[in-house]
């Protein structure tokens, strides 16, 4: 069964559903209720979170299940401090969970795919009149 995280580009950050889902997973509970959602407040923030380097990390975690951030850095051939910074950013948004594994932190994800939706305004909402 494919697990999906739904990402919405919107005006208000709402990570409540995602945090509840992660807590349920940590508690060993089933998570078949409503789909997990992450709302990011702007297209700019969405671009930062889902930039190519972060997507590469998510794909490497999904494919290789690394035992540590250092191992993940070796997989993607990047410096560990940079990977650590990116992984912590992804963890801040609930896209990666860091599991204590001895002295290491093991990055994990619980989903198989990301579904993205949202509107991209081409003009400021206060611009009601068309240019002359």
Res 92: pLDDT: 93
Lowest mean pLDDT among 4-8, 13-17, 20-24, 68-72: 13-17
Question: Is-contact 132 94, C-beta < 8 A?
Answer: no
Lowest mean pLDDT among 39-43, 49-53, 87-91, 109-113: 39-43
Mean pLDDT value across residues 14-27? 69
Closest CA relative to residue 45, chosen from 15, 86, 13, 22:
13
What is the pTM assigned to this prediction? 0.74
The residues spanned by each domain of the chain are 4-118
Assign domain 4-118 to a CATH class: mainly alpha
131 versus 51: which is more confidently predicted?
A: 51
């Amino acid at each position: 069964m494919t697990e999906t995280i739904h990402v919405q580009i919107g005006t208000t950050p709402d990570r409540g559903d995602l945090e509840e889902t992660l807590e349920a997973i940590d508690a060993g509970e089933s998570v078949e209720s409503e789909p997990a959602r992450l709302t990011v407040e702007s297209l700019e923030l969405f671009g930062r979170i889902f930039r190519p380097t972060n997507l590469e990390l998510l794909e490497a975690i999904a494919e290789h299940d690394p035992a540590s951030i250092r191992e993940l850095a070796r997989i993607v051939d990047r410096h560990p401090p940079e990977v650590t910074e990116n992984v912590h950013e992804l963890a801040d948004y609930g896209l990666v969970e860091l599991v204590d594994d001895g002295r290491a932190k093991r990055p994990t994800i619980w989903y198989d795919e990301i579904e993205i939706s949202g509107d991209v305004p081409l003009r400021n909402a206060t611009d009601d009149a068309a240019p002359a």
